[in-house]
């Protein structure tokens, strides 16, 4: 990476300062906290939840989260019957504006190939076991469509505000590789 960056800079193709701004943006300003705010609001506001399911791109853009790799978003809600997981079997397509940059495991060949064959086994590796009757649906991202899992709102969270709710939403729960934290974790 560094060697490539040096060559491209020397030849004048890229501006290192511009590159620093881009990297900083995705490391600090854009990240899974954006997605967590979307999910918490959907838990708290039924009208927003409906909008998110109908037109996730517009609902998410209304909160200011737009940009590359998030042009066409689809939200898939977890229920008692269905648990959703997201993968990109071809490469590493991922909804940057709401989740930031993808974790290394998301881009790894073992995750990408195994989650479609053995989603329950992959979940077990993440320490998650679902009720036997709960169906698992795996969504394959493409260059056009990016999926955001809407986890189920944890029990005993009626007293929490949106900010507190968003603290329960983990990155992995929005990929479907994890579950939200329990209400007991809120101080």
Binding residues for Fe ion, rule: CB under 5 A, are 88, 90-93
For the bound state, the minimum distance from the C-beta of residue 51 to Fe ion, rounded and expressed in Å, comes to 26
Select the residue whose beta carbon is closest to Fe ion and give its number: 93
Ramachandran category for residue 28: left, alpha or beta (phi over 0 → left; psi -120 to 50 → alpha): alpha
Of 141 and 170, nearer to Fe ion (C-beta) is: 141
> Which residue blocks in 30-101 are alpha helix, DSSP H?
32-44, 46-54, 56-61, 96-99
Q: Is 93 one of the catalytic residues?
A: yes
- Report which DSSP code applies to 5: H
At 85 the three-state DSSP class reads strand
Of 82 and 91, nearer to Fe ion (C-beta) is: 91
For the bound state, the minimum distance from the C-beta of residue 62 to Fe ion, rounded and expressed in Å, comes to 26
What's the Cα-to-Cα distance from 129 to each of 16, 83, 122, 167, 174, rounded to whole Å? Answer: 45, 11, 10, 22, 16
For the bound state, the minimum distance from the C-beta of residue 157 to Fe ion, rounded and expressed in Å, comes to 34
Q: Catalytic residue, from 93, 141, 166, 173: name it.
A: 93
What's the Cα-to-Cα distance from 59 to each of 16, 41, 63, rounded to whole Å? Answer: 34, 11, 7
Q: Is 57 one of the catalytic residues?
A: no
Of 102 and 178, nearer to Fe ion (C-beta) is: 102
Of 93 and 98, nearer to Fe ion (C-beta) is: 93
For the bound state, the minimum distance from the C-beta of residue 88 to Fe ion, rounded and expressed in Å, comes to 3
Q: Catalytic residue, from 57, 88, 141, 166: name it.
A: 88
Residue 79 makes CB contacts below 8 A (sequence gap 6+) with 152
Q: Which residues are catalytic?
A: 88, 91-93
């Amino acid at each position: 990476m560094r060697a490539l960056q040096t060559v491209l800079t020397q030849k004048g193709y890229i501006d290192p300062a511009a590159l620093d701004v881009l990297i900083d943006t995705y490391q600090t300003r854009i990240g899974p906290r954006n997605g967590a705010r979307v999910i918490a609001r959907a838990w708290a506001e039924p009208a927003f939840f409906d909008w998110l399911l109908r037109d996730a791109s517009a609902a998410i853009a209304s909160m200011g989260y737009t940009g590359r790799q998030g042009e066409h978003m689809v939200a898939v809600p977890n229920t008692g019957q269905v648990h959703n997981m997201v993968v990109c079997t071809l490469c590493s397509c991922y909804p940057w504006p709401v989740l930031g940059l993808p974790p290394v495991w998301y881009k790894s060949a073992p995750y990408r190939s195994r989650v479609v064959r053995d989603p329950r086994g992959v979940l077990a590796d993440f320490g998650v076991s679902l009720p036997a009757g709960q169906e698992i649906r795996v969504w394959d991202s493409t260059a056009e469509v990016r999926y955001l899992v809407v986890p189920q709102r944890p029990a005993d969270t009626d007293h929490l505000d949106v900010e507190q709710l968003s603290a329960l939403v983990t990155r992995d729960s929005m990929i479907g590789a994890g579950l939200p934290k329990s209400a007991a974790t809120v101080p």
